[in-house]
Chains A and B, each alone.
Chain A
């Protein structure tokens, strides 16, 4: 079965001529055709362009072209601008928006020969932890379609879990890759802030947003990240440093690796969930790693910090959606103010409006110091906690989420409860650290994720640690029933 093969295996089959990229593309398009209506994971399908790109990849290969992603299909989160293809960001605001350019991530994967099948559903403007805020309706979790897949990259996660593509792109502002990866049982990587270009990725919170990948294994994620990462002169926050060879170090021995167990992550963690983490620690110890407990005293403040910083930035980032140059415009505006307020009031959904208003409030005169500035100070305290921890250990380990996937509709009316879903993931965004979630077992027949967090630019080490865990376990090979 083609959809169970790794990217490396698919590459070998393509190289040997056993399959063509066109066949592979047709295979995944057929799976999308079969499963997507139930999952709602993709909101735009680009079958025709995909087949053309696949044919071009086959021709390139025939002409001696190579590369681990040449002819491999993928799905892009609909937050990435794709030239000539609708880029909605999950919003009515951009329902009619055809991007006139490619995001750097899209261009890089195109250059690597990867074949875009379509665009994935997502929480509106990436604001959400359940994929229920999308204008296009919620995404269903392939493990149980009454459950959410997590968010905001819920479509990418569900599509990867249901094997609708070998891999998918995502973005992670407060956990939007790692949390849905955990809830759908796939491997998700959020790189160091600045490692992957943000150009062409529709901004939610600029100082937190980072693009990453969903794949079936750390080994596959390493191949994809290799193609995505690197300096981009169009992004002032992109880091001009060489990208290490991620696949090359996947199997480096872990002997002597010091893993820190984050004490704050276990406060109040359900016993079954905690047990899975302790099982994982046993495996790491068997691989030669040493585990120690560490504490990040300010980490409990990461959620309130995030819910000041992210809304503040989003309130400003989303001001450009004003009904003038692109996007939704209300009918018959009676004057300029009416044009603005109705285009934005009707074009944005409830959660986006809530966050814009939260951000407007915390930046406004009289509240700036108490909220925004205070949050920026706490952000430094949290970052300093991480720095101190990484002086003692090489990696931090803990759960990705407090619970497995919850019911669709369970938390959508209670924003604060929803926000607390991200308690374990937000710290890495505030400090700009790379994080990775990998499947580590099941609770109530639903997948759970193990989270690894490393110092800046430690992606190679995270992928290495995840890969060796996956060599020793088979959680990542489990497929949701019905999608085998």
Chain B
């Protein structure tokens, strides 16, 4: 196996695939950008498809680099106080202490 082996079957994404992904990720993609993403995402997917050649059988997936560590637990203590004015200084739109967004429809 060599570093530059980009084998495997070409997995070309379609424009519809990319539109669906962009929607899931809430990213607007302009019509001009679209072909570039279709091409580059296809080449990335083809590249990572090399993983399918690895024999992984019953290998346990590894989510953390330091295996065997456990989650530490924090004592149930209120340690935070109100700083909403400072925190909301970065907000694009605030009214009466609330973050304002276009109407949420349920």
Contact = CB atoms under 8 A, between A and B. Distances in A.
Contact of A380 (B50, B59, B89): B59
A202 to B, nearest CB: 14
B24 to A, nearest CB: 5
Contacts of A357: 18, 21-22, 25, 27, 37, 41
A301 B54 contact: yes
A323 B86 CA distance: 17
Interface string A234-245: 001101100000
A9 interface: no
Contacts of B54: 298, 301, 374, 377-378, 381
Nearest to A235: B72
A33 to B, nearest CB: 30
Contact of A324 (B36, B74, B101): B101
Nearest to A311: B44
B9 to A, nearest CB: 13
Nearest to A431: B65
B65 A193 contact: yes
Contacts of B41: 354, 357-358, 361
A160 interface: no
A300 B51 CA distance: 10
A432 B3 contact: no
A371 B21 contact: no
Nearest to A326: B90
Interface residues of A, number: 78
Nearest to A298: B54
Interface stretch (A119-127, A213-221, A272-280, A331-339): A331-339
Interface stretch (A128-136, A413-421, A461-469): A413-421
Contacts of B99: 324-325
Interface in B76-96: 83, 86-93
B104 to A, nearest CB: 6
B91 A378 contact: no
A102 to B, nearest CB: 14
A291 B1 CA distance: 25
A416 B6 contact: yes
Contact of A416 (B47, B64, B67): B47
A259 B70 CA distance: 32
Given A304-B47, A325-B90, 9 more contacts: A194-B69, A307-B44, A336-B101, A336-B105, A357-B41, A378-B56, A380-B60, A415-B43, A416-B47
Interface of A: 96-98, 100, 193-194, 207-208, 233, 236-237, 239-240, 267-268, 298, 300-301, 303-305, 307-308, 315, 319, 322-327, 329, 333-342, 344-346, 348, 350, 353-354, 356-358, 360-362, 364, 370-371, 373-381, 383, 415-416, 419-420, 423, 429-432, 456
19 contacts: A100-B90, A207-B65, A304-B51, A319-B26, A322-B26, A324-B92, A324-B99, A325-B99, A336-B104, A337-B26, A341-B22, A345-B29, A354-B40, A357-B21, A360-B25, A361-B21, A361-B45, A378-B51, A381-B59
